[in-house]
Amino acid sequence: MINPEYNGTHSWLLEYISKCKTKEILIGHELMEELDILYSHFSNPDITIDFTDAHKRIKFIETRCKHFEAPFAGKPFILMLFQKAFIEAIYIFKIYDDEVGRLVRLHQDILYLVSRKNGKTPLISAICLAEFFCGQQGIKILCSSNDYEQADLMFQAINAMREESPALEKVTRKNIKGIYFGNPRKPKKKGKFSYKNKGSIRKISAKTGAKEGRNIGVGAVDEVHEMKDDTSIMPIRQALSTQDEPLFFELTTEGVVNDGYLDDRLKEARQVLDGDLHRPRWLIWLQTQDNEQEIWQDEKTWVKSNPGLGVIKKWSFMRKMIEEAKLSKSKRVFVLSKDFNIKQNNVTAWLTTEDIDNKETFDIEEFRNAFGIGGVDLSKTGDLCSARAMLMKPKSDKKYFLQHYFIPESKLGNLPKEDRELYRQWVRDGLMTLSDGNENDFRLVTKWFYNLYRNYGIRFYNTGYDKWSAVYWVKEMEEDYGFDTKKVDQSFGSMSEPMKLLEADLKSNKVIYNNNPIDRYCLENTAITANSKEEIMPIKIQGKENKKIDGAVTMMICYRIYIDHKLEFLELVKRMG
Query: What's at 445, amino acid-wise?
Result: V
User: Best-predicted range by mean pLDDT among 1-10, 252-261, 321-330?
Assistant: 1-10
Per-residue pLDDT of 95-111, as tens digits, reads 999 999 999 999 999 99
- Give the residue range(s) of CATH 3.30.420.240 domains in the chain: 353-574
pTM above 0.95, yes or no: no
**DSSP result, 424-443:** HHHHHTTSEEEESTTS--HH
* pLDDT score recorded for residue 249: 97
- Give the residue range(s) of CATH 3.40.50.300 domains in the chain: 5-339
**Please, where are the H alpha helices in 293-416?**
293-297, 315-327, 329-334, 353-356
User: Class of the 353-574 domain?
Assistant: alpha beta
223-227 mean pLDDT:
85
Confidence of residue 577 (pLDDT cuts 50, 70, 90): low
Burial of 278 (0-12, 13-18, 19+ CB in 10 A): exposed
Cβ neighbours of 386 (radius 10 Å) = 29
* pLDDT score recorded for residue 381: 52
Measure Cα distances from 256 to 117, 252, 253, 263 in Å.
Answer: 17, 12, 10, 10
**Whether pLDDT at 410 is above 60:** yes
Confidence of residue 211 (pLDDT cuts 50, 70, 90): very low
182-206 mean pLDDT:
84
**Whether pLDDT at 213 is above 50:** no
* pLDDT score recorded for residue 115: 96
Pairing of strands 200-205, 140-145: parallel
Q: How far apart are CA 16 and CA 413, in angstroms?
A: 64
- Angle made by CA atoms 253, 329, 562, in degrees to the nearest 5: 115
Confidence of residue 1 (pLDDT cuts 50, 70, 90): confident
* Domain made up of 5-339: CATH architecture: 3-Layer(aba) Sandwich (3.40)
Per-residue pLDDT of 143-156, as tens digits, reads 988 777 777 889 99
**Whether pLDDT at 297 is above 60:** yes
More confident: 50 or 384: 50
Per-residue pLDDT of 475-516, as tens digits, reads 999 999 999 999 999 999 999 999 999 999 999 999 999 999
Query: What's at 145, amino acid-wise?
Result: S
